């Protein structure tokens, strides 16, 4: 079914017909979907990721599939599980979770198995990667009724949700006030690791401004490179609010910086765009001295976590 970008007809045309986006049916695994059995089968540029496959998916040997590109962006399973726990602390009225970049399904699976959400909407624009995610969710025993898979662009979905929800299939129309969004966007390839402080304004293919502009009307969580410039993150805080920032670590090494950002109410915001608030060196221990950033240390549960 996927997202047929056709005319905005009504439900009388059939289940899902005529909507700009609708839940995807189960997609078949393609030639781009792989379950590698040994290092000799793996392309050289993902061999180091394959060596860590049980950290990525502990049930890898049960038949987990990924596309080659998905190896670069999948969240390690212990971190995905911990983020699911931490996001579970959201206001109880938040009942729907949108995973804007579902990838091969690591975070979606953790959210669905957490028992916290009534439903998860998982969006992925690449059909082969989405097929892997659906397959992997089945491997992990995710209840099919828990996840609405969407083959499409998350920015198009959010635009439709905000501006013309009638164009969406009824299963994808949600109340933005009761929805939390999780976004683990691509970071532009492994090259980000060479930056002592990563400039989120130049992140590719989606920079910080584009992401936040699409997300600011709802509570949202950004999964970012561990060296991200915290000054830039602090600037996203709505007036009178703080942003929690957590470094998620495994075996003493940080894997990602995650920012928990409250929704912005444009009618009550009094501050105007201007100079970024003063913040110490983002890589120092007191880098969150900005009033917009709050220290946060997640529960460990066998996973190391530290303050950004």
Structure tokens at 190: 């492994």
Per-residue model confidence (pLDDT) at position 95: 97
C-alpha span between 199 and 231 (Å, rounded): 10
Number of structural domains found in the chain: 1
In a domain, 165, yes or no: yes
Contact 154, 123 (CB under 8 A): yes
In a domain, 40, yes or no: no
Are residues 106 and 53 in contact, defined by beta-carbon separation less than 8 angstroms?
A: no
Asked if residue 37 belongs to a domain, the reply is no
Q: What is the predicted pLDDT for the residue at 252?
A: 85
3-state secondary structure of 98: strand
> How high is the pLDDT of residue 253?
87
State how far the Cα of 35 lies from the Cα of 78, in Å rounded to an integer.
21
For 89, the domain range is 74-261
> In b/e form, how buried is each residue of 186-224, taking b as 16+ CB within 10 angstroms?
ebeeeebeeeebbebeebeebbbeebbebbbbbbbbbbb
- DSSP character at residue 74: P
pLDDT for the residue 188: 72
Give the tens place of pLDDT for each residue, 69-88: 999 999 999 999 999 999 99
Query: Which whole-number Å values give the CA distances from 232 to 60, 185, 257, 265, in the listed order?
Result: 36, 16, 13, 20
User: Residue 231 falls within a domain, yes or no?
Assistant: yes
Task: Report the CATH number that the domain containing residue 215 is assigned in CATH.
Answer: 3.40.50.150
**Model confidence over 176-191: pLDDT tens digits?**
999 999 999 998 765 5
* Residue 23 domain flag: no
Residues of the chain with pLDDT under 70: 1-17, 189-195, 266-308
Contact 62, 139 (CB under 8 A): yes
């Amino acid at each position: 079914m996927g997202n047929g970008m056709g005319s905005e007809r009504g439900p009388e045309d059939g289940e899902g017909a005529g909507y700009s986006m609708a839940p995807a049916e189960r997609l078949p695994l393609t030639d781009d979907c792989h379950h590698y059995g040994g290092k000799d089968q793996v392309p050289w540029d993902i061999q180091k990721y394959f060596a860590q496959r049980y950290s990525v998916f502990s049930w890898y040997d049960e038949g987990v599939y990924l596309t080659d590109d998905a190896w670069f962006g999948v969240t390690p399973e212990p971190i995905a599980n911990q983020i699911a726990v931490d996001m579970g602390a959201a206001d109880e009225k938040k009942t729907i979770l949108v995973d804007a970049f579902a990838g091969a399904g690591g975070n979606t699976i953790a959210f669905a198995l957490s028992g916290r959400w009534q439903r998860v909407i998982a969006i992925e624009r690449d059909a082969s990667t989405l097929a892997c995610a659906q397959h992997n969710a089945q491997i992990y025993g995710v209840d099919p009724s828990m996840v609405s898979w969407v083959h499409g662009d998350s920015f198009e979905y959010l635009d439709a949700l905000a501006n013309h929800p009638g164009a969406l299939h009824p299963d994808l129309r949600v109340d933005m006030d009761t929805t939390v969004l999780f976004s683990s966007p691509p970071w532009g390839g492994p090259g980000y690791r060479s930056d002592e402080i990563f400039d989120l304004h130049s992140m590719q293919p989606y920079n910080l401004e584009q992401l936040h502009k699409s997300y600011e009307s709802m509570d949202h969580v950004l999964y970012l490179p561990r060296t991200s410039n915290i000054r830039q993150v602090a600037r996203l805080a709505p007036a009178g609010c703080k942003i929690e920032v957590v470094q998620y670590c495994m075996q003493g090494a940080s894997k990602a910086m995650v920012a928990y950002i409250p929704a912005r109410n444009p009618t009550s915001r009094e501050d105007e765009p201007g100079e970024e608030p003063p913040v110490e060196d983002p890589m120092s221990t007191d880098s969150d001295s900005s009033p917009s950033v709050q220290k946060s240390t997640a529960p460990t549960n066998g996973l190391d976590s530290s303050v950004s």
